[in-house]
Structures are given as structure tokens and as C-alpha cells.
């Protein structure tokens, strides 16, 4: 939204709760609230891949895009693989990784597809003033395996004098600070659409050991990355301990950061995004009423047929 607005294109985020703010980072984009939104004939509605329901068009007649940030979640709420998504008009699809475009192009080849790479803010994610002997990881996606990894590291005499950092329940500024001083970041991704923490760790000058995990595969082409076979935490621990002493000024760290900056810059994202928006705007469309995708129905098909307001929870 910020990139679009910087280019003079009117754009806003839409949450159900008026005034809702994202808890993990700030944005200057305007935020709209409410269950329904009136859209004009020239407007474009972008819907995340998570919130598509069979028999439910969130904005009949309005031109729409599915922003698919994780191809493994394509059918998370769909529960069916036929007739996807059944919207009028048919949407285009935006994806954030090469792997996602490959998979989505085969899942629904009839829908136009655009790669819009995630931008990595290398001015924000950058080496800190001091690089310490720290190994860090994010446990959210694999909490049980993360617990095993932590015990493996704590039981290893090679970890004496090494800081072990579990990056959980942190705001963006705290993650930035932690990655800026971390020597080795362990990637515990699973079924990823892209693997944003890996890219941010590389931008911060961390070495990365971990699982490529689907859409994160392309990030392990970067210097300063080491692939480990899936679900082998003892090998993660071994390689992380081998690398934790690599000096802060080792050229591989700056090479990794430069690799990210060349491929995932704001300029690269903006160029792809503007091309995708231009293509989507060429779709047929008319004015209409959009119903927020998180207004969950008890029976989506019956609710759509009745024209009844959908019921349900969710703050966003």
C-alpha cells in the first residue's frame, strides 16, 4: 500500500475493526474499517489467499486480485479444489516467490499470475554495532522441534559462551536489534510461501542454517546459507555451532546482504507491483459492494443465496 501511494495511486488497508493497527509493525497507509465497503467501477479489491470460501464472492462484479503469500494455504478455507474461486469477474493472482508462481500456475492455470517479490528493507534490517556469538531462531512454526533444538544446543559443550536467543513475541524493532547482533540464524520454516525471516536475517548480516521450506528455496541460493535436510535438528545444531565463530567482518556476511539488496529491493518490488496493478486494472469491472472476507458465515452458500449479513469473529 505504501509503495502504491508513493506512486500516486490511491490505496488503503481494510480491516473489519475501525482503527485496527497491526501489532508487529507500523504503516503509514490509511486504514478503513467495517464489514462492508462501497467500491467504484475503477476500484480493485485485493484479497489474501486465506479467506476464500466456496460459493462466496466478496465483491460481485468488482475487479479483484488474490494476493497469495503462501501457496500451501491456497485451500486453507476452501475445502474443495473445484471451481476455484468462482468469482465474477475471474481474478488475477499475485505471488511472492518463484516457487509459488510455479505451484499456483499449475493449481489454476486459467488465472493470470504475477510475481510480486517481497521487499526487504535493508535500511532497517542491517548489521548492528556489535556482532556477538549468538545463535537465534523463531520457534512459532515448529515449536516442538525448536524445543529439541534448544536442548541440543544447551547440552553441547561447544555452546559454552554462546548466547541462545529464542525470538518469540517480539515487535519489529526488537527483531531488528536481535538479528543485527546475531551470528547465526536457524531457519525452522515449514510450508513457507517465501521465508521472510531468512531474507531479513541475511540483510542483517547473519549466516543462515536451516530448511529451505517451499518458497524459501530461492533464498538458499544466497551466499552465507547452509541447507539442512528437513526435520534433522541435530544437524542444525552442529552446523550452527561450527559457524557461530565466523568473524563479524567476514566477507560472506556482506555478500549475503548485497545479494538480498540486489533481488528484493523496494524498487524491484515496486516495478513488479505496478505492472501487476496495470494488468489487473484491465480486467472488466463495475461498481459494487464488498463484504469483508473475515465476516465468516455459518453456511456460506446459504448466506450468499439469502443475501444475509455474514456472522463471525476476527479483528482484522
Based on the fold, state whether residues 16 and 76 are members of the same structural domain.
yes
Same domain, 252 and 272: no
Quick one: 274 and 217 in the same domain? no
61-96 per-position pLDDT tens digit: 999 999 999 999 999 988 777 889 999 999 999 999
Examine the domain organization and report whether 200 and 114 are in the same domain. no
How confident is the model over 239-243, as a mean pLDDT?
98
pLDDT of residue 304: 42
Question: Is 313 inside a domain boundary?
Answer: no
- Residues 256, 209 within the same domain: yes
Average pLDDT over the chain, rounded to an integer: 92
Residue 303, pLDDT score: 44
Query: What pLDDT does 301 receive?
Result: 47
Q: What is the pLDDT of residues 27-39, one digit of tens each?
A: 899 999 999 999 9
Residue 312 lies in a domain: no
Contacts of 162 (CB under 8 A, 6+ apart): 133, 134, 135, 153, 241, 244
182 within 8 A of 201, measured Cβ to Cβ: yes
Identify the band that residue 176 occupies on the pLDDT scale cut at 50, 70 and 90.
very high
Of 311 and 159, more confident: 159
Same domain, 169 and 225: yes
Average pLDDT of span 150-178: 97
Residue 128 lies in a domain: no
Q: Which structural domain, as residue segments, surrounds residue 173?
A: 134-263
Mark out the alpha helices in the chain (DSSP H runs). Answer: 2-6, 98-107, 143-154, 172-181, 196-203, 233-243, 251-263, 266-281, 300-306
CATH of the domain at 154: 3.40.50.2000
pLDDT at 314: 33
* Mean pLDDT of the region 158-181: 96
Regarding whether 79 and 48 lie in a shared domain, the answer is yes
Average pLDDT over residues 246-252: 98
Confidence category of residue 106, pLDDT binned at 50, 70, 90? very high
Residue 238 lies in a domain: yes
What tens digit of pLDDT does each residue of 223-233 get? 999 999 999 99
**Domain assignment present for 314:** no
Domain count, the chain: 2
**Are 10 and 111 in the same domain?**
yes
Q: How confident is the model at residue 21 (pLDDT cuts 50, 70, 90)?
A: confident
Closest CA to 60 of 307, 314, 310: 307
Mean pLDDT, residues 241-247 taken together: 98
95 three-state secondary structure: strand
**pLDDT score for 78:** 86
Percent of the chain residues past pLDDT 90, beyond the cut? 84
Task: Tell me the average pLDDT across 220-249.
Answer: 98
Asked whether residue 47 is domain-assigned, the answer is yes
How many of the other CB atoms lie within 10 Å of CB of 69?
20
**Do both 279 and 249 map to the same domain?**
no
Query: Does 206 share its domain with 99?
Result: no
Q: Is residue 75 part of a domain?
A: yes
| For residues 1-26, average pLDDT | 91
Q: Collapsing DSSP states into helix, strand and coil, what is residue 307?
A: coil
- Give the pLDDT band (50/70/90) at residue 22: confident
In a domain, 127, yes or no: no
Reduced DSSP (H G I as helix, E B as strand, rest coil) percent helix, strand, coil of the chain, to 5: 35, 15, 50
Query: Using an 8 Å Cβ cutoff, are 116 and 272 in contact?
Result: yes
Query: pLDDT per residue over 284-314, tens digit each?
Result: 999 999 999 887 555 444 444 433 333 333 3
Residues 156, 240, single domain; the answer is yes
Q: Are residues 147 and 227 in the same domain?
A: yes
Amino acid at each position: 500500500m505504501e509503495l502504491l501511494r508513493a506512486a500516486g495511486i490511491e490505496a488503503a488497508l481494510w480491516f473489519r475493526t475501525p482503527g485496527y493497527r497491526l501489532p508487529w509493525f507500523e504503516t503509514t497507509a490509511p486504514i478503513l474499517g467495517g464489514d462492508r465497503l462501497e467500491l467504484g467501477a475503477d476500484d480493485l479489491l485485493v484479497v489474501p489467499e486465506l479467506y476464500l470460501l466456496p460459493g462466496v464472492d466478496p465483491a460481485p462484479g468488482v475487479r479483484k486480485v488474490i494476493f497469495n503469500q503462501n501457496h500451501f494455504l491456497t485451500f486453507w478455507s476452501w475445502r474443495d479444489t473445484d471451481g476455484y474461486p468462482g468469482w465474477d469477474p475471474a481474478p488475477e493472482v499475485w505471488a511472492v516467490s518463484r516457487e509459488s508462481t510455479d505451484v499456483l500456475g499449475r493449481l489454476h492455470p486459467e488465472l493470470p499470475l504475477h510475481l510480486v517479490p517481497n521487499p526487504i528493507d535493508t535500511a532497517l534490517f542491517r548489521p548492528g554495532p556489535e556482532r556477538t556469538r549468538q545463535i537465534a531462531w523463531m520457534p512459532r512454526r515448529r515449536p516442538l522441534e525448536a524445543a529439541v533444538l534448544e536442548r541440543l544446543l544447551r547440552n553441547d559443550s561447544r555452546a559454552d559462551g554462546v548466547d541462545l536467543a529464542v525470538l518469540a513475541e517480539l515487535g519489529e524493532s526488537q527483531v531488528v536489534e536481535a538479528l543485527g547482533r546475531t551470528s547465526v540464524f536457524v531457519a525452522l520454516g515449514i510450508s513457507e510461501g517465501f521465508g521472510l525471516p531468512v531474507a531479513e536475517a541475511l540483510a542483517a548480516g547473519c549466516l543462515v542454517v536451516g530448511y529451505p521450506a517451499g518458497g524459501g528455496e530461492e533464498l538458499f541460493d544466497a551466499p552465507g546459507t547452509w541447507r539442512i535436510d528437513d526435520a534433522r535438528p541435530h544437524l542444525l545444531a552442529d552446523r550452527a555451532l561450527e559457524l557461530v565463530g565466523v568473524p563479524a567482518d567476514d566477507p560472506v556476511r556482506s555478500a549475503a546482504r548485497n545479494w538480498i539488496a540486489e533481488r528484493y529491493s523496494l524498487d524491484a518490488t515496486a516495478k513488479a507491483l505496478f505492472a501487476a496493478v496495470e494488468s489487473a486494472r484491465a480486467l472488466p469491472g463495475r461498481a459494487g459492494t464488498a463484504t469483508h472476507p473475515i465476516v465468516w458465515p455459518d453456511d456460506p452458500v446459504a448466506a450468499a443465496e439469502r443475501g444475509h449479513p455474514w456472522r463471525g469473529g476476527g479483528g482484522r
